[in-house]
Chain A
Amino acid sequence: MTEQLEAEVRAALHERAAQVPAARIAQLTHTDYHPRTRRLGPPRRVRPPLAIGALTTAAGTVGAVAVIVSLTAGASNAFAGWTAKPTPPAPGQLAGARASCETSQSPISGLPLKLADTRGPYTFAIYADSNSSAACIKGPSFVAVSASVASSAVNVPAGQILLSTSHQTDRGGDGYSFADGRTGAGVSGVTLTLDDGTNVQATVGAGWFVAWWPGGHPIKSAELTTPTGIVNQTFNLSPEIPCHLAPRCSSSVSDVGGGGPAAGGGTSVSGFASGGGEVQSGSVQSSSRSR
């Protein structure tokens, strides 16, 4: 019986293993696993929080509700494989990210995909409809999902961008920042410059732009490609939410660059989950800023 059993077990295992799609294996094979030779961003105080900045527009305010769900362990390996410029997705990379992001309980469930940014093994996707949006970052060891709900229409002046940016840190202490937002008419390219001089090229399309980078350096300016040439927007970003107000510190900020009028307030709700998968309700903060 034992030999027969072992033969049956072998056959069953090989039968099951053969069901792994070749495309999924090809995707893994073509992923860049090499560590970055230069780590961006200074070592920051460990901030386990996740937050989404409230969007502020020239026309009014947009309330944002953010829920972050980190699905797996926070081991980030210092974001190995990250690139300052978007890279073409590996075969199956987008499908894999969508499968992770679009779970039935995810806040992005039901929202159409607007834009996906791929940098090495990482995928950052924006989902949105007319009154809400959500972002999802999928890496080799984590998935983070956030959502925001707009309370008024978002109007972005032509040739400018509406920027929302946030800094996050996993429990491993590896921080990363991301920026996403809307592009005004005519904007076909966005390159962000961080305060350490690093340039991060964003993915642009469908009226949105997306970029992220390891570390916590804030955005200093953005170079926009428009029909009339290159336009520079500068930003003066600083954390708005005092970290001592919540057990898990959050920082978020929103801005409209280009020197245009930007005033108003926003409300953000942050939540955080990590490693073990626990989800904590976050603090609620109202903030306002004027320029």
Chain B
Amino acid sequence: MDRRRADFDTFVAASTDSLMRTAYLIVGDLQDAEDLVQETLLKVAGRWHRVRRMEHPVAYARRILVNRALNDAGRRTRRRRELTGEALPDRFDDTDEPLAFDAHDELLKVLATLPTRQRTAIVLRYFLDLPEAEVAAAMKCSLGTVKSTAARGLARLEQALRTTNDKRSIST
């Protein structure tokens, strides 16, 4: 096996876990997330001769993934409607019955309803713990846009958390 090929395989082994979990948090569906990761890695493989010389190949892969996720968001929605013949179900709807007033569950429910850009900003910032500048690079937007987008998403999540806490205090 040549060196370039071995390097790529090492890259795949090291980055797939993070890419897949990130994709899942953004699109909310395992199958869609797998497709997204495979498309990303195929694209990286086709350009590996250049990508391997980059300082952070995984950042490049993440940029492809995010770009694809943002561009495909409308298409995924349409596809689901056609397949099911009904309105798009809530994302993350494959989980067990949530515990009553579970804060994380409420947060995730609200996260699933956020616009894709807001959800992506939240995931990159708080799941991957990327600095805002890197989030901006991944989303191909300005630092200010990242800040305002994430802030709007966080505000929605904060509201959900407050509601959950209110319910919790009432029940106890």
Contact = CB atoms under 8 A, between A and B. Distances in A.
Interface of A: 1-2, 5-6, 8-17, 19-21, 24-25, 27-29, 31, 33-35, 71-73, 75, 77, 80-81, 96, 99-100, 103-105, 121, 140-141, 275-279
B51 interface: no
Contacts of A96: 31, 34
Contacts of A275: 75
Nearest to B92: A16
A121 B41 CA distance: 12
A6 B122 CA distance: 10
Contacts of A20: 20-21, 24, 30, 33
A73 B79 CA distance: 10
A10 B12 contact: no
Contacts, number: 128
Interface in B23-43: 24-25, 30-31, 33-35, 37-39, 41-43
Given A24-B20, A31-B38, A80-B46, A277 B79 contact: yes
A118 to B, nearest CB: 14
B128 to A, nearest CB: 9
Interface stretch (B102-110, B131-139, B141-149): B102-110
A248 B165 CA distance: 57
Contacts of B161: 5, 8
Nearest to A106: B83
Contacts of A2: 154, 158
B123 A13 contact: yes
B95 interface: yes
A9 B154 CA distance: 9
Contact of B42 (A6, A77, A105, A279): A77
B123 A8 contact: no
Which of B21, B84, B123, B154 has the largest count of A CB atoms less than 10 A from its CB?
A: B21
Contacts of B21: 17, 20, 25
8 contacts: A13-B123, A15-B104, A16-B92, A17-B25, A20-B33, A34-B8, A73-B75, A276-B75
Interface in B125-172: 126-127, 129, 154, 157-158, 161
Given A5-B154, A33-B44, 18 more contacts: A1-B158, A8-B104, A11-B104, A24-B30, A24-B34, A29-B13, A33-B42, A71-B83, A72-B75, A72-B79, A77-B42, A80-B45, A81-B42, A104-B83, A105-B84, A141-B39, A275-B75, A278-B82
Contacts of A6: 126, 154
A51 B130 CA distance: 47
A154 to B, nearest CB: 30
B38 A277 contact: no
A1 B157 CA distance: 12
B31 A25 contact: no
A277 B82 contact: yes
Contacts of B158: 1-2, 5
Given A14-B127, A16-B108, A105-B84, A277 B78 contact: yes
A29 to B, nearest CB: 5
Contact of B78 (A25, A28, A141, A276): A276
A100 B83 CA distance: 11
A33 B126 CA distance: 29
Interface string B83-104: 1110000001001000000011
